[in-house]
C-alpha cells in the first residue's frame, strides 16, 4: 500500500476513537526498516486498546498488512507494526517518560499532509471562491456603469415614446379635421368644397385637435414607460 494512503488511514482510525496529540514523523533518513512512525496518546488502557484495534481494522479493510501488534495485554503502550509504518499508542505518562519524539522527530509531517491535504484543498477552494479586493472593485464599477447606462436608456425610451405619441396624435387629428372640414364644406356649397377652403379648415382644426390629443397621449406614454 502507498505510504500516503497508509498515513491517511492511520490518522483517520486514530481520530475516530478520539486519540490525543497525534504526531507523525518521516524516518526514511534514519532507518531503512520503515518509512514513518506515528505517536498518539490514549487516556486509559481501554482507549489505547480501542485505538490500536481501530488502526488494525481500518488498515485490514483497505487491504493493508498487519505485521504484528504488541502491548495489548497491559494497554500502557500498544505498538502496531504496519510494515512501512509503526504506530505507537501510549498513555501520557509512558509517552512523557520514553520521549519517542526526541528519537524519531527530526522530520515531522503535518496532519493535513498525512490525510492527503484535504484541509489545504478546502482552504484553497474557499480562497478561490472569495472575491479579491480588485475583483469586488471591478464588480462594483461594472454595476455602477450598468446602472448609469440604464438611466440614459430610460430617458431615451421616454423621449421616443413621447415622439411616437405626438406623431400618432397628429395623424389622428389630421384625419378627423379633414373629414369634418370636407363635411362642412360640402354642406355649405352643396358640392365639393374648394381646395383652399378645405386646406384652411384642416389647418385650423388640426392645430386645435393635435394640441388636445398630444396633451392626452404624452402622459399615457410616460406612464407605460415607467411601468416597464
pLDDT along the chain (228 residues), means of 10: 92 96 95 95 96 96 94 94 96 96 92 69 48 51 50 53 53 52 46 46 52 54 48
Pair (14, 122) in one structural domain: yes
Contact of 18 with 96, CB cutoff 8 Å: no
Pair (155, 201) in one structural domain: yes
Residue 75's φ and ψ, nearest 5 degrees, are: 80, 5
For β-strands 85-90 and 36-41, DSSP reports them as: parallel
Residue 183 covered by a domain: yes
Residue 173 covered by a domain: yes
Identify the pLDDT of residue 116: 75
Q: Which among 69, 66, 67, 62 is positioned nearest to 4, based on CA atoms?
A: 62
Query: Which residue range(s) make up the domain with 38?
Result: 3-129
Pair (104, 164) in one structural domain: no
Residue 140 covered by a domain: no
Q: What is the pTM of this model?
A: 0.53
Amino acid at each position: 500500500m502507498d505510504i500516503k494512503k497508509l498515513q491517511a488511514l492511520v490518522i483517520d482510525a486514530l481520530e475516530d476513537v478520539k486519540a490525543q496529540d497525534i504526531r507523525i514523523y518521516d524516518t526514511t533518513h534514519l532507518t531503512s526498516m520503515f518509512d514513518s512512525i506515528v505517536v498518539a496518546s490514549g487516556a486509559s488502557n481501554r482507549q489505547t486498546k480501542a485505538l490500536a484495534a481501530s488502526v488494525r481494522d481500518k488498515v485490514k479493510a483497505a487491504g493493508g498488512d498487519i505485521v504484528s501488534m504488541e502491548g495489548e495485554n497491559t494497554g500502557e503502550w500498544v505498538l502496531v507494526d504496519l510494515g512501512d509504518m509503526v504506530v505507537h499508542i501510549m498513555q501520557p505518562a509512558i509517552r512523557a517518560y520514553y520521549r519517542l519524539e526526541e528519537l524519531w522527530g527530526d522530520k515531522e509531517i503535518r496532519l493535513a499532509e498525512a490525510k492527503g491535504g484535504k484541509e489545504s484543498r478546502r482552504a484553497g477552494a474557499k480562497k478561490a471562491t472569495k472575491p479579491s479586493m480588485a475583483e469586488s472593485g471591478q464588480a462594483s464599477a461594472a454595476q455602477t456603469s450598468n446602472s448609469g447606462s440604464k438611466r440614459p436608456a430610460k430617458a431615451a425610451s421616454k423621449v421616443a415614446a413621447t415622439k411616437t405619441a405626438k406623431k400618432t396624435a397628429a395623424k389622428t387629428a389630421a384625419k378627423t379635421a379633414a373629414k369634418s372640414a370636407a363635411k362642412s364644406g360640402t354642406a355649405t356649397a352643396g358640392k365639393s368644397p374648394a381646395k383652399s377652403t378645405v386646406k384652411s379648415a384642416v389647418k385650423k382644426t388640426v392645430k386645435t385637435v393635435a394640441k388636445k390629443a398630444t396633451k392626452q397621449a404624452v402622459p399615457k406614454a410616460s406612464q407605460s414607460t415607467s411601468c416597464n
